[in-house]
């Protein structure tokens, strides 16, 4: 299985964090927002520092033809 290699950037302007969502294809704005939301929920109290860039690996697009 090859690792996702398409970078999709979205910025959380409220917290000053940029998310790089690595997926198997270009993601829609809605898909990027959802991936960012899931990541934030999973982190709980451990939120990234302002100004940081967070890399998220996603399976979105895997197996698409």
Burial of 13 (0-12, 13-18, 19+ CB in 10 A): exposed
Q: Rounded distance, CA 40 to CA 62, Å?
A: 23
* pTM confidence score: 0.86
pLDDT tens readout for residues 35-64: 999 998 998 888 899 999 999 999 988 877
Q: Which two tokens stand for residue 28?
A: 């829609």
Q: How many domains does the chain have?
A: 1
Which structural domain, as residue segments, surrounds residue 10?
A: 6-57
Whether 63 maps to a domain, the answer reads no
List alpha helices for 3-60, DSSP H.
Answer: 29-43
């Amino acid at each position: 299985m090859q690792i996702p290699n398409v970078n999709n950037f979205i910025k959380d302007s409220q917290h000053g964090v940029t998310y790089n969502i690595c997926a198997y294809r270009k993601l829609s704005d809605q898909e990027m927002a959802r991936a960012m939301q899931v990541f934030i929920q999973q982190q709980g109290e451990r939120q990234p520092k302002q100004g940081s860039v967070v890399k998220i690996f996603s399976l979105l697009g895997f197996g698409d033809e």
